Amino acid sequence: MKEDKIICKCHGISKKEIKMTIITRNVSSLKDICNVFDVKIKCEKCKKKIEKLRNCFEF
């Protein structure tokens, strides 16, 4: 079940959740995904800027 592998270590978001978000919310960019998951400009848990948040995700 590699599908449920945790992608964002900071938020515990799985690839399945991200895929469902892309399908249901029709988002395409990482920034949109971050907004959907309420990450905004800074990740509150890891204090990284949104540009660096890209490292948390593996697409």
Give the helix/strand (H/E) hosting 13: strand 13-14
Instruction: Supply the pLDDT for residue 8.
Output: 58
Residue 17 CB coordination number (10 Å) = 18
Instruction: Supply the pLDDT for residue 17.
Output: 74
CB under 8 A, 24+ apart: contacts of 27-31: 30/54, 30/57
Instruction: Supply the pLDDT for residue 3.
Output: 47
- Indicate the domain borders of the chain: 2-56
- pLDDT tens for 2-54 read 445 555 556 666 767 767 766 676 666 666 666 666 554 445 555 555 454 45
